[in-house]
Chains A and B, each alone.
Chain A
């Protein structure tokens, strides 16, 4: 049974700092891995999708990597801004065609001005 864990649970950094969020999963036979952002009381906004054949994806100041063999993914945020403050969730796609997502508990990021 796939389990996804995110460390740390919370992170507070000063504006401008580069940071890394970690995600680990127990079953390396994942199909894809997706990172989301969730603002308080809001829905999930997709940030990046890494397909199983890929090792990383980049979008603006965000870079996500995937290492299936070690069961890890990281989300790198460059030059953090107060507007980046949110909860970041990673989710592993199951290997079946249904594509259900198994979520981690999230990392709540606070970027201080």
Chain B
């Protein structure tokens, strides 16, 4: 199975900050990686697919990059509604696997 190692597990930031979350795949997954945002009691919301493509309706403050098997989600100009938990997920092979999640909290 492909392991997705996501870091950090938690992150404290202030409104207006820019933050970066990283996900590393245990083997090559091409660019078949998605990023999700999840708020308490809600279903995950897709932000980015194919490592760097923005889902329709998602603001440009969210961006994704790839370097080999390392993937990065950057969120700029943090607003109160951005404080949530973020997950990466590979869809290159079954079983699909998720990162452990990053909880983004207000400082």
Do A and B come from the same complex?
Answer: no
Point out residues on A near B: beta carbons under 8 Å: none
